[in-house]
Structure 1
Amino acid sequence: MTNTTIRVGIVGAGGNTKAKHIPGLQAIEKVEITGVCNRSRTSSEAVAAEVGIPRVFDDWRKLVQDPDIDAVVIGTWPYMHGPVSIAALEAGKHVLCEARMAMNAREAHDMLHAARSRPHLVAQVVPSPFSLKVDRTIQRLLAEGFIGNLLAIDVQDRGGFLDIDGPISWRQDIQLSGMNVMMLGIWYEAVMRWVGEAIRVMAMGKTFVKQRKDTEEKRQQAVLIPEHVNVLADMACGAQAHFCSTRVAGLAGPSGCHLYGSDGTLRFEDGRLFGGRRDAAQLTEIAIPATEEGRWRVEEEFVNAIRGIEPVCLTTFEDGVRYMEFTEAVSRSRQTGMAIPLPLITP
Structure 2
Amino acid sequence: PDTHAELSCSALEAGKHVFCQARMADTLEGAQRMMKVAEAHPGQVNMLCPPPHRMPWESYILQSMKEERFGNPLEIRISCTNGSGFSPLSFRDKVEFSGLQIMFVGIWAETLISWFGEYESLSADFSTPVSVKNDPNGNAVTMKIPQVVNISGRLESGVHVSEYHSGVSLNETLNLLEVFTDRGTLRIQAMTKLEWAERGGEFKSVQVPDNLQRDWQVEADFIAAVRLAMAGTPASERQVCPDFSEGVRYMRKMAAVYLSVNESRMVN
TM-score (norm 1): 0.71
Of 103, 120, 123, the match for 2:26: 103
CA RMSD of aligned residues (A): 1.7
Counterpart of 1:340, as a letter, is V
Counterpart CA distance in 1 for 2:40 and 2:56 is 33
**Cα separation, 1, equivalents of 2:26 and 2:177:** 26
Asked if 1:86 corresponds to 2:13, the answer is: no
Q: CA deviation at 1:85?
A: 0.4
Is the CA contact 1:205–1:229 (under 8 Å) kept in the aligned structure 2? yes
Q: Counterpart of 2:81 in structure 1: which amino acid?
A: R
Of structures 1 and 2, the larger Rg is shown by 1
Counterpart position of 1:267: 187
- Structure-2 separation of matches of 1:230 and 1:146: 30
1:302/1:312 contact within 8 Å kept: no
Of 112, 119, 134 in structure 1, the residue corresponding to residue 42 of structure 2 is: 119
Cα deviation, 1:57-111, whole Å, max 9, x if unaligned, reads xxxxxxxxxxxxxxxxxxxxx1111110011111111000000000111110000
Does the CA-based 8 Å contact 2:80-2:173 persist in structure 1?
Answer: no
Higher relative contact order (CA 8 A, sep 6+): 2
Q: Deviations over 1:191-230 (max 9, x none)?
A: 11211111112111010122222336x5322211111101
2:225–2:240 contact (8 Å) kept in structure 1? no
User: 2:240 matched to which residue of 1?
Assistant: 313
> What is the number of equivalent residue pairs in this alignment?
260
Q: Which residue of 2 aligns with 1:232?
A: 152
1:203 to 124, 127, 130: 124
Structure 1 residues 161 and 175: CA distance shift in structure 2, 3 A = closer
Residues 82 and 173 in structure 2, CA contact (< 8 A), matched pair in contact too: no
Tell me the alpha carbon deviations over residues 296-346 of structure 1, each in whole angstroms, 9 at most, x when there is no partner. Answer: 1111111111111762332111110000110111111122211112xxxxx
Q: 2:255 aligns with which of 320, 323, 328?
A: 328
Q: Does 1:187 pair with 2:90?
A: no
Answer whether contact 1:92 1:121 (CA < 8 A) is retained: yes
Query: 1:22 corresponds to which residue?
Result: none
Report the Cα distance in structure 2 between the residues aligned to 1:183 and 1:84, rounded to whole angstroms: 24
Cα-to-partner distance string for 1:118-172 (whole Å, 9 max, x where unaligned): 0000000000112311111111222222332211111111113851xx5422111
Q: CA deviation at 1:173?
A: 0.5
CA distance in structure 1 between the aligned counterparts of 2:88 and 2:51, rounded to whole angstroms: 26
- The 3 A distance-change label for structure 1 pair 213 and 253 is closer
Q: Is contact 2:133–2:143 with CA below 8 Å preserved after alignment?
A: yes
For the pair 1:249 / 2:169, whether they are aligned, the reply is: yes
Aligned twin of 2:220:
300
1:339 matches 2:266: yes
Percent of aligned pairs with the same amino acid: 29
State the AA in 1 paired with 2:130: V
SS at match of 1:319: helix
Task: Answer whether contact 1:135 1:194 (CA < 8 A) is retained.
Answer: yes
Inter-CA distance 175–285: structure 2 relative to 1 (3 Å threshold): same
Distance in 1, matches of 2:131 and 2:154, equals: 31
Gaps of 5+ in 2: none
Secondary structure of 1:130's counterpart equals: helix
State TM-score, norm by structure 2: 0.92
Aligned to 1:39: none
Q: What letter is aligned with 1:336?
A: E
* 2:249 partner letter: R
Among candidates 89, 93, 97, match of residue 168 of structure 1: 89
Q: Secondary structure at the match of 1:179?
A: coil
